[in-house]
Structure 1
Amino acid sequence: MDQNVFASNLIERPAGCSSRYASPPPSPRLRHRKTPIVRTSPLLQLPAEIRSLILVAAFGHRTIHADLDLVSTSATTETQTTRPITPPDGGAGVTRQRDLIDLASDDIQWKPTGHLCHRRCFDARRSRSSLPTPLFVVDRDRCFTGGGALCTFPDYGLSSCRIGALGWLLTCRQAYAEGVEVLYRHNTFRLNESFALENLARIMPAAAAAHIAQLSLNLTMGRPRVASDRIAYPRPRDTVEHLPALFSLLPDAFASLSRLHLVLAGEMWPEIQLFVYCGPSAALHAQVEHMLAELAAMMRRLRALRLCEVAFDSSVYFPWLQIERGLDIDFKNYADFEQCPYTVWRPLAAEDAQEAESMLTDRRRLSGFWVCLDAWDAIPWSVMTDLYGTGPCRWRRLTTLPHDPTTPIGACTCTTAALRILPSSILHPPSLGASALFFPATSCAEMPSEDTPLLNDADGTASAAAAAKAKRSKIREAVIFAWALISTAAFIIIAVWVQHNHQTQPSPSPPAAAKRNLVFMVSDGMGPASLALTRGYRQHVEHLDHGHVLTLDRHFWGTSRTRSSSSLVTDSAAGATAFSCARKSYNGAISVLPDGRPCGSVLEAAKRAGYTTGLVATTYVTDATPACFAAHVPRREMMDDIALQEVGQGVLGRSVDLIMGGGRCYFLPNSTEGGCRQDDVDVTRVAREQHGWTYVDSRKAFDALDGGNKVELPLLGLMAPLNVPFELDRRTRNDTYPSLKEMATTALRALERATEHSEQGFFIMIEGSRIDHAGHINDPAAQVHEVLAYDATFAAVLDFINATDTETVLVATSDHETGGLATALQRPDEREATYDWYPAVLDRATASCEHLAAKLKARVAETGKAASGLRKYIKDELVVAGLGVPASEVPDADLDRLVAAAAAADIERAKTIFTEIISHRARIGWSTHGHTAVDVNIYSSGGPGTHAIRGNVENTEVGDFLRRYLDVDVDAITAELQAKSRRSDEIAGVMRARGGAFDEYHGTLKN
């Protein structure tokens, strides 16, 4: 970095530190609540959705200004210091500057500040009632951030607002926590200086910052702002060098950021200072290019970012470089978020004598911002008024744009250079019909200045409005409470009406990216009740309060309808076909249409388009869900055919690059131990010799993959002969079977390495398969551990997304719900319902009911059905040790039923008895051993195009999103498959011939 008079305020960054300032500020002191927190609130009697609407209406859609103020404790001096400065071109110059206080000086105090303005509040204690009352104020002793135990709602803030007595309603810890969450998710946070961003942890907790969705970052780039006129901030050149470090902080600090408003602000400098601090040089040009590259990298890492605005606020630095020195700074290349950019050039008006004497008479000021034309609702109008004010340079929205770029618009004549850069999509945007742009209503040369303040009108209309507003203040105070109640009720009614009348509209494909990855996760059989069961279980066993939720809960996106073409209750095959083909089909269909013709899958289309592909499951890799992405058969039970197609023996050849899961027996010939095929084909040999697969079939071989760093694709990993054991059982056999999380992270790393130098990314389907199996046998203990394992895998995928440089989107959903789970139970013989269920019962279980039944089967085979010790074995080893039932509480009737089932060699019946024992004790209810028609949840990391699966959608719309996000041609694959496959009537004949040979899926579950 070139030296300058301000270099003393900056130091080299120590290892592991991102700050460039000499001394970080101390942490603000936080004050605990002085008043106790009550246990409940009337607000909690309302449904969660209604509570959320009320809180958002009260606390949302406003701007929170958070900052660290620098305060000098000593008096300001007027001493002037003259320092000789040598410009880069070798000339001479002199500048005069006040004495500066080093940022490390003990003479400086750091004071965290912040407020959220509530425009409708009235504070009687304020002398000027026309001013808004800050709803939240931060000082040394009080902070608006953090949990309920660390901060308080200022009494005057809530009581003065008079909004439905929220001050009283929010005294409950849960309601308070929900209110704080609304603050972060539904408001725009504004940081005014770079040091505030660097020291964000000293202003708000990192966990809270991670929930912030909207951020306005204003960076000073011109004349330094000073506290007491003596504390220096970075100069323009320092800012250019400093911005990359700031950009690198944003993705980690604001993981949920969906809207970024970046303002690069500056003021006019005397020419000598421009040459000294902003003088052109190859090094400076390289720094600017590095800054732009970091901005692009920041946007790629902010996965949830949907809108980015870059504005120059009276800045001279970048336009000066661009016009005078020919450096092309074009932010359009770094704003790929479905937005239409435009830039407006204005003549630079002389502002002072120094400007009039400037030799650079043709310098211009750039004032521009980027905006998404089809998302006006997402852009608060306050952004425009904050930037450009409401004074003489008012902004107005036009509905048409003249074709002649020199034609005056109102009183504003925009130069040809201004409109030449406008793309044709802005002149005639398809979504609006006519162009909708912002232009100043007055002359382009008129810009806000000290003579034309941003917040005042020259004609005095603002003052008149303020006076009129003051006269109405007493009336407003009298009616505001009634207004709040009426508006809240109306808001709720409208919201409910909109929700019930919502119809999903077709959405355009997300913008094409140079390279992208898509991770699609399926939680087979997991319904909303499974999440409630698991969440409550985790909170109990880990001693967490109700505010601690699953990772999935924090990424809830919408819900999906699940019916198939043949039934209101789908099976996994039809459900997965809806995902893979985006088409409805009949129960049992593996990527074939109702007429028996094959339909192309998104995985096959992705492979054809150059993507690398993968499948991971904890059941057979030939089971319905993975099969639907890489095979086409009329019945899901045709696993022999599915295995061959998955390794490359189908019409399209090999479409999968990585397969991991169970079901090894369907890849081994029936003449081999462990084989369950109906023929003598060794599919593993076919895979290795004809298609080049690397084959892995043991934990040792899996560990040798080194977490994906030592994988040679294509990889076939068959980690279990049948299913990978339930997580409840697998954890005691970790040396034999890898977990879903281990397989998923290994696969992700392998695919990432394989696509490191390719133009396309990867597509992978990851299934938490055995949630479904736990639902089929009605085992609640097995289910909670399967959902926890799936949740941990979901979190691991998010970690991967945050670490990778390639745009990656995660979408997760279920194909259906299994078991009709209910977190409450009333037996037929019970007259009174019990409003509770007992997680501790599930916590005491050490094995799944499937595993206990297998142990009973093995015991009977070893000792005989009538062994005298069988009853004692069942009680001590299976019920007490396995299910965790205290010995004194084991009912004799249950033991009698288990002994009878063992004597009859009815192990399936024994399994059902085990599940009834633990379910009844935990007060968990089940309505079926099959599937249900309940809607299932959708989860997502967010990203381009994911708005298409918001709300309640068909499962085929999820499949359609997969296709559109990858931008692949599934229809072409379908046409090729149908052209090369047997005719529809021949396939239908096969279906009729084989139909009687297989059990229906809702019959017995193979294990």
Structure 2
Amino acid sequence: MKKISFFLFCLLLASFVHAQQAKYVFFFIGDGMGVNQVQGTELYLGELDGKIAIAPLDFTEFPYATTSSTYSATNGVTDSAAGGTALATGKKTMNGVIGMEKDQQTPVASIAMRAKEKGFRVGVATSVSVDHATPAAFYAHNPSRKNYYQIGKDLFLAGFDFYAGSDFLDPDNQGKSESLYSLAQKNGYTLARGYDDFVSKSDKADKLILFQTEEASKVHRDAIPYAIDRKEGDLALSDITGAAIRFLSKDLSKGFFLMVEGGKIDWACHSNDAATAFREVMDLNESVRQALQFYEEHPDETLIVISADHETGGLVLGTGEYALNLQALQYQRVSETGFTSILNGLRRQTGNRVAWEQVEEALKANFGFWNEVKLTEAQEKRLRDVFDRTFTGESVEMEKSEYAQDEPLAAEAVRVLNEIALIGWVSGGHSAGYVPVFAIGAGADLFQGRMDNIEIPARIAEAAGYVAE
């Protein structure tokens, strides 16, 4: 009799544990972060420790890990709009569409909207503009991801408690409509510019939008700086995440849902810039640590899920030599775009009469070439040939990727360093490769077995009780 009672007790206990809902949900999305972006970062960190082994990121040690497919309703290779919509709503749509069915007319509610309906506090945050495809999929409905002004207006209709990113891309509809900043005030939002401004305003704000400083937006309004290019005073994704947690925690009794996007992993991979991409993955990990600190205080009520909307670039770890030399990437000190700015500065300083010796010094300082990183004669010739072709005073055709137009010499320097690191890239676009899924906390056991991207929000909704009763 006692044995039967103990067995029933165990069943009841197991039932209670499984039924424990997640009151606090963190959903991290590494845009463009495929399995090799994660594995490459860990192998890179391992080499920096002097080992042929991985140095685990915090989120890769979560107890539940699997992979997800990412195809859209209309394409074998998704874009961020369809990928973001799948992760936000559990519905596949056509590429380019935000928060709608593939008919481009029927709106679909996101898990963030469901959380809001259930009385949870809600935040959407990103390292790129707040109206970019992935964050927009959580609050907007639009047939085109490029309708930035209309997407920005949907932000107010959703009425979430906290938004963060670099800025709005098109705040006044190209001068034809009322400013989104004005609409923010009318809709009860406090606008904070930079982390210090957030700290001074957050306590008194009912709803808040956090952007980088106006000075930073005058330089690049489309994103905060890459981690590798970050300078003191720049807004970081970890700042944004910490601010979101602080703001949403003003009333913990309600619980919250927070989506955080590491948006520039994708941008670096579009440029095939491995050193910058790995540092962006590390930067996302720093933001996850903020969530882990919260989880440690509320372990029975917190769920953290990490995934990606798609893989970018077709990253290859190893180019045929049965070896890697990822430690060489540590000597790259700026992104490809950052080095473009350095070369542009040299052009301005010299009236576009830049000498090879000046470029050589810049390559030494920012890529370690000839010093820490030895070049073959062929590699040096490639750099010199690009210099001779593009620094002759004639017009230069910039090398274009999805989100950048860079100096050909900057792109070639990155290609040479990738070659030395024994890293390859298939394209400058997206691929259909699997993306990782990691989970810890209340309901994390739901994230097992091979998944499709539309299952991720469904399982988050089940774990947190966002589903209809």
Corresponding residue to 2:109 among 580, 593, 600: 600
Is the 8 Å Cα contact of residues 576 and 624 (structure 1) preserved in structure 2?
Answer: yes
CA drift at 1:511: 2.8
Structure-to-structure mapping, 1:149-168, within 5 angstroms: none
Quote the residue 2:49 is aligned against: 542
Structure number having the greater helix percentage: 2
Change (3 A) 1:368 1:955: closer
Structure 1 residues 281-301: Cα deviation after superposition (integer angstroms, max 9, x where no partner):
xxxxxxxxxxxxxxxxxxxxx
> Could you tell me which residue of structure 1 aligns to residue 245 of structure 2?
748
Aligned-pair CA distance for 1:368 = 7.3
Identity %: 25
| 1:870–1:615 Cα change, 3 Å | farther
Residue 950 of structure 1: how far off its partner (Å): 0.6
- Aligned with 2:36: secondary structure? helix
1:852 aligned to 311, 327, 339, which one?
Answer: 339
Alignment of 1:242-321 (within 5 A): none
- C-alpha displacement at 1:824, in angstroms? 1.3
1:329: which partner in 2?
Answer: none
Cα distance change of structure 1 residues 969 and 899 upon mapping to structure 2, 3 Å threshold: farther
- Asked if the contact 1:560/1:954 (under 8 Å) is kept, the reply is yes
**Residue among 297, 315, 326 paired with 1:839:** 326
Structure 2 counterpart of 1:777, from 271, 276, 279: 271
Find the counterpart in structure 1 of residue 190 from structure 2. 694
Displacement of 1:743 in angstroms is 1.4
Aligned partner of 1:855: which letter? I
2:205 corresponds to which residue? 712
From 424, 427, 437, the counterpart of 1:938: 437
Q: Hey, what's the Cα distance between the residues in 1 that align with 2:329 and 2:204?
A: 38
Aligned to 1:728: 228
**CA gap 1:692/1:768 in 2 versus in 1, 3 angstroms:** same
- In structure 2, C-alpha distance between the alignment counterparts of 1:614 and 1:951, rounded to whole Å: 29
**TM-score with structure 2 setting the length:** 0.87
Q: How far did residue 901 of structure 1 move? A: 3.6
Are the aligned partners of 1:520 and 1:811 in contact in 2 as well (CA < 8 Å)? yes
Task: Report how far residue 678 of structure 1 moved.
Answer: 5.4
Backbone CA RMSD of aligned residues: 2.8
What does the per-residue CA deviation read over 1:312-363, in whole Å, with 9 as the maximum and x for residues that have no partner? Answer: 99xxxxxxxxxxxxxxxxxxxxxxxxxxxxx85xxxxxxxxxxxxxxxxxxx
Deviation at 1:857, TM superposition (A): 3.1
Distance 1:914 1:374 in 2: 59
Q: Which amino acid aligns with 2:226?
A: F
Deviations 1:619-667 (A, max 9, x none): 1111111000011111111111111211x1xxxx243111111134433
Supply the AA of the counterpart residue of 2:293: D
- The 1:841/1:548 distance shift into structure 2, 3 A limit, reads closer
- Give the drift of 1:537: 1.3
Match of 2:384 among 881, 892, 895: 895
* 1:883 equivalent in alignment to 2:367: yes
- Match among 440, 452, 455 for residue 957 of structure 1: 455
Q: Where do 1:219-230 residues align within 5 Å?
A: none
Whether the 8 Å contact between 2:115 and 2:122 is mirrored in structure 1 is yes
Query: Aligned pair count?
Result: 445
Contact in 2 for aligned 1:654/1:691 (Cα 8 Å): no
1:54-75, CA deviations, whole angstroms, 9 ceiling, x for partnerless residues? Answer: xxxxxxxxxxxxxxxxxxxxxx
User: Would the aligned equivalents of 2:126 and 2:261 in 1 still touch at CA under 8 Å?
Assistant: yes
Which residue of the other structure, out of 788, 797, 808, is the alignment partner of 2:302? 808
Provide the C-alpha distance between the structure 2 equivalents of 1:574 and 1:543, rounded to a whole number of angstroms.
41
> What 5-or-longer segments of structure 1 have no aligned partner?
1-310, 314-342, 345-366, 377-508, 671-676, 826-832, 973-1007
TM alignment of 1:47-446, pairs within 5 A: 344=5, 370-372=9-11
2:445 match:
947
Structure showing greater radius of gyration is 1
C-alpha deviations, 1:227-276, integer Å up to 9, x for none? xxxxxxxxxxxxxxxxxxxxxxxxxxxxxxxxxxxxxxxxxxxxxxxxxx
Could you state the TM-score of these two structures normalised by the residue count of structure 1?
0.42
1:924 aligns with 2:408: no
The offset of 1:850, in angstroms, is 1.2
Correspondence for 1:620: 129
Given candidates 739, 762, 779, the residue that maps to 2:236 is 739
C-alpha separation in 1, matches of 2:286 and 2:195: 20
Ranked by relative contact order (alpha carbons within 8 Å, sequence separation 6 or more), the top structure is 2
Whether 1:906 and 2:404 are equivalent positions in the alignment is no
Partner of 2:402: none
**Counterpart check, 1:793 vs 2:291:** no
In the alignment, is the contact (CA less than 8 A) between 1:603 and 1:613 conserved in 2? yes
CA distance in 2, matches of 1:861, 1:664: 30
- Displacement of 1:805 in angstroms is 7.0
Counterparts of 1:15-26 in structure 2, within 5 Å, are none
Change (3 A) 1:312 1:543: farther
**What is the CA–CA distance in structure 1 between the aligned matches of 2:326 and 2:33, rounded to whole Å?**
18
Task: Give the partner amino acid of 1:526.
Answer: M
Q: 1:574 deviation in Å?
A: 0.6
Pair 1:584 & 2:98 matched: no
Per the alignment, residue 871 of structure 1 pairs with 356
The CA deviation string for residues 921-953 of structure 1, in whole angstroms up to 9 with x for no partner, is 211100010011111110011422x33331111
Whether 1:521 and 2:16 are equivalent positions in the alignment is no
